[in-house]
Amino acid sequence: MKSINLVFGCHAHQPVGNFDFVFEEAHRLSYLPFVEVLERYPAVRAVLHFTGPLFDWFEAHEPAFLARLAALVDSGQIEIMGGGYYEPLLCAIPERDAVAQIRRMRAFCARHFGREPRGMWLAERVWEPQMARIMARAGVEYTALDDTHFLCSGLTPEDLFGYYMTEDEGLAVKAFPIQEKLRYIVPFHPVEETIELLREWATEDGARCAVLHDDYEKFGVWPGTHGSVYTEGWLERFFGALTENADWLRTVTYADYVDSHPALGRTYLTCASYEEMMAWALPAPMQRKLNDVRSRVKDCPELGPDAHLFLRGGFWRNFLAKYDESNNIQKRMLRVSNRLERVRAGAVEPRLEEAERLLHQGQCNCAYWHGVFGGLYLNHLRTALYEKLIGADRLLDEIEGLAEDRVTVESADFDGDGNPEAVLENSRLALFFSPTDGGTLFEADFKEKPFNFCNTLTRRDETYHDLLRAGSALVGGDDQGDLSIHEMVKAKEANLDTYLVYDPHRRASLRDRFLDPSASPDTLWACTAREYGDFAAAPYRLETLPGGVVLSRAGSVVLPSGEARAVSLAKTIRLAPDESTLEIRYDIACDGSWPGDLWFGAEFAVNLLTGSADDRYYLSDDHDMGRPRLGTRGCHEGMAHLAVRDEWQRLECGWRFSAPARVHRFAVDTVSQSEGGQERVHQGCVIVPCWRLSPDAEGRFTRTIHMGMRVF
């Protein structure tokens, strides 16, 4: 009789910083009912992987669930897979941190399940060749990757029923291919379809092993799946079918198969992830081209069924080039990791363990990239990473015993673009400036309550926006439990296409604008306000001072008549010791007579997470403006002060102006993809204080802004 082995595995994850109700809902809808069904079928063996944020939550809220898992481990019914504890992408973090994260997970499993895991789940199955060495160093014996990895390396679909050895510098791990066909039909297609596919793959010698290992959340959390998987009984039927066909269809764990079967051979895997991830990593125009080519290949049967194997997208690190904000988080994490390593080399201090835990939490991968789910676009996930990284930095300040009255200025290539950035820091703030991008402030870390006030996101073109433009998105309606999430095109509200506005440059602060008097919150929001200067995104000269930086540019302003005027601008930013307010002084000079009715504006972008809550609002101590929500637009004349306040976090950021200003304000919302469809996400509010350019007797224009951050 022909037979086959099946490894059936689930990977469960919730990001650091996700809302507690999401953890609870995922446990109620998926994690717990899955185990309850599995317990009723003791002949079915499975592999389960839970990430550290879930293990932390189970310890705090559902310790009985951990006990149930331990009982299943003791009975031999399940194998617990290891991994990086807080689900980092190994390619995005230093090797020392990768090894430490894996060992953190091994220690947890030994404590709760009585044994260390032999295998490891690789976050997002993002593979680079050096990972074999990293895993082996951390004690990992095997992992599972998409069949895409193996096909891209020259193997054929018939070669994907077992495991291969792969190594780096002589350190080897075993790698199992995950079958894409199984991943796409389970649990969305009838159980019989899966059984018949496995029957087709069975052989007389019974040595083959097919691997199905995918997201646990497909079994209850994804839209419509709780009803189809549990209420309608898909999982019961599946486990029942596995039990009934056990004479030829053996469910095994990775450990079972490794201990009883040799490797199929040795292979060297190229940089890869699953097919969708490699497409998402491409810029939107290249994604469209790739999708078009794939469609053409699919419609050309004369090319053969394997032609698509030669079509690949980018690889994960492209996200760091595609999204400045992703690169920002990753480079901020590297800065903390390198600092921790330096401090650890010179001190034995118990608090370093806590600093490392915060660093590891700040390495959780979800907000480092964006695909079919929200990821980077979810501001609360980015906020959580900055909270952990800034918190680790603050703790290292304490461990090093740094003086409260210090102010430091550092010039270094923070973001890896080959140009120096500036970091101005004291005991309360860390401020990051980009001279090459308009002399802007792109990160403002508040240490007292770890928070990056400049954690905004730029509005960008995404390929799924094409669906909204075409009017083919489904708004509302019933969830379709028989469709894969990759096949669903939904929108959470009508007229989302009106929000498809794309920013010409990164949404940062201190972006300098020379504006027409007709500029309004609406035209600034729509990026249609007339701009006369060449300063907004141009390179500035950086000069460091004791306790400050100067960012200057000799540029020009082109008047509506076409006449150009040479204009020089210098902004001097100073930070006093032990203060959380920075002073920004603008000095602007024009070569010749000043233009007529021209306005100068300094643009600021900050993010307090939502624009629709009553406890997040604008306020002023010199204007009775009420408490407009942060998602509103407005223009106010003659303002000396404006602030944004978050009563939930007790945070406030405010601006005081040396001369009354016309202040435009508006919200920045992106349109992004999520599990439930395309949605609008608040990414911050923009404040643009403006003044008519009126020079003094010496032909100069000067304004000072004090920008302060505080807990109230």
**Beta-carbon neighbour count of residue 354 at 10 Å?**
14
CA quadruple 29, 35, 38, 39: dihedral sign: negative
For residue 337, give both structure tokens.
């990791």
Q: Helix 234-244 to helix 191-201 angle, to the nearest 10 degrees?
A: 30
pLDDT tens-digit readout, 636-645: 999 999 999 9
The confidence score (pLDDT) of residue 472 equals 66
Measure the CA–CA gap between 551 and 544, rounded to whole angstroms: 9
Average pLDDT, the chain: 95
Q: What average pLDDT does range 382-407 have in this prediction?
A: 98
Residue 682 neighbours by CB distance under 10 Å: 22
Q: What is the dihedral of CA 325, 331, 333, 339, to 10 degrees?
A: -150
Region of poorest pLDDT, from 220-234, 471-485, 557-571:
471-485
Reported as a single tens digit per residue, the pLDDT across 659-684 is 999 999 999 999 998 777 889 999 99
Q: What is the pLDDT of residue 653?
A: 99
pLDDT at 484 over 70: no
Mean pLDDT of 593-601: 85
List own/partner pairs for 486-490 with CB under 8 A and 24 or more apart.
486/184, 486/276, 486/372, 488/223, 488/677, 489/677, 490/676, 490/677, 490/678
Residues in the chain: 712
Two structure tokens written together for 635:
């223009």
What is the per-residue pLDDT for 305? Answer: 81
Mean pLDDT of the region 247-271: 98
- Sheet harboring 407-412: ordered strands across? 407-412, 421-426, 429-434, 440-446, 451-452
Measured distance CA(70)–CA(47) in Å, rounded: 13
Q: Does the pLDDT at position 614 exceed 70?
A: yes
- The highest-level CATH class for domain 4-281 is alpha beta
Question: Percent of the chain at pLDDT above 90?
Answer: 88
Q: Mind listing the pLDDT tens digit for each residue in 486-510? A: 545 688 888 899 999 999 999 999 9
The catalytic residues are: 124, 215
H or E segment and range at residue 4: strand 4-12
Of the chain, the percentage scoring pLDDT greater than 70 comes to: 98
Whole-number Å distance between alpha carbons of 709 and 712? 10
CB distance 224 to 479 below 8 Å: yes
Of residues 346 and 489, more confidence is placed in 346
Tokens of 340: 């921790």
Higher pLDDT, 480 or 233: 233
Here the tokens at position 227 are: 């009803």
Burial of 558 (0-12, 13-18, 19+ CB in 10 A): middle
- Calculate helix-pair angle for 95-113, 63-75, nearest 10 degrees: 80
Domain residue ranges in the chain: 4-281, 511-711
Per-residue pLDDT tens for 70-104? 999 999 999 999 999 999 999 999 999 999 999 99
Distance CA 582, CA 602 (A): 15
Task: Give the whole-angstrom CA distance, residue 146 versus residue 215.
Answer: 13
pLDDT of residue 348: 86
* Unique residue bearing structure tokens 């081209």: 289
- C-alpha 108/C-alpha 82 separation (Å) is 10
- What's at 677, amino acid-wise? G
Dihedral class, residue 485 (left if φ above 0, else alpha if ψ from -120 to 50, else beta): alpha
127: helix, strand or coil: strand
State the pTM of this model: 0.96
User: Given a cut of 80, is residue 375 above it in pLDDT?
Assistant: yes
- Supply the pLDDT for residue 194: 98
* pLDDT of 124 above 90: yes
pLDDT, one tens digit per residue, over 125-146 is 999 999 999 999 999 999 999 9
Whether the CB-CB separation of 583 and 574 falls below 8 Å is answered with yes
C-alpha angle with apex 264: 258 to 270, nearest 5 degrees? 105
At 100, give phi and psi (nearest 5°).
Answer: -65, -40
Q: How far apart are CA 445 and CA 454, in angstroms?
A: 8
Residue 594 above 80 pLDDT? no
pLDDT, position 119: 99
Can you name the CATH fold of 511-711?
Beta-galactosidase; Chain A, domain 5 (2.70.98)
The CA angle 532-540-454, to the nearest 5 degrees, is: 90
Question: What are the CB-based long-range contacts (under 8 Å, 24+) for 339-347?
Answer: 339/393, 339/396, 340/392, 340/396, 341/94, 341/96, 343/396, 343/399, 343/400, 347/399, 347/400
Strand partners, 586: 571, 703
Tokens of 242: 């596995």
Distance (Å, rounded) from C-alpha 107 to C-alpha 111? 6
Helices and strands: H and E segment counts in the chain: 20, 28
Is the pLDDT at 384 greater than 80? The verdict is: yes
Residue 700 has pLDDT above 70, yes or no: yes
Quick one: average pLDDT of 601-625? 97
| CA pseudo-torsion sign 343, 99, 333, 363 | negative
DSSP assignment of 335-385, as one string?
Answer: HHHHHHHHHHHH---THHHHHHHHHHHTT-GGGG--SSS-GGG-HHHHHHH
Q: Three-class SS string for 53-74? A: HHHHHHHHHCHHHHHHHHHHHH
Distance in angstroms (rounded) separating the CA atoms of residues 502 and 285: 14
Higher pLDDT, 476 or 252: 252
Alpha helices per DSSP H over 114-176: 131-137, 147-152
The CA distance from 584 to 705, in Å, is 5
Helix (H) or strand (E) holding 411: strand 407-412
Task: Please provide residue 325's backbone torsions phi and psi, each rounded to the nearest 5 degrees.
Answer: -70, -35
Query: pLDDT tens across 302-338, in order?
Result: 888 888 888 889 999 999 999 999 999 999 999 999 9
What is the structure's pLDDT at 214? 96
Chain centroid to Cα 614, Å, comes to 27
Sign of the Cα torsion 629, 651, 441, 544 reads positive
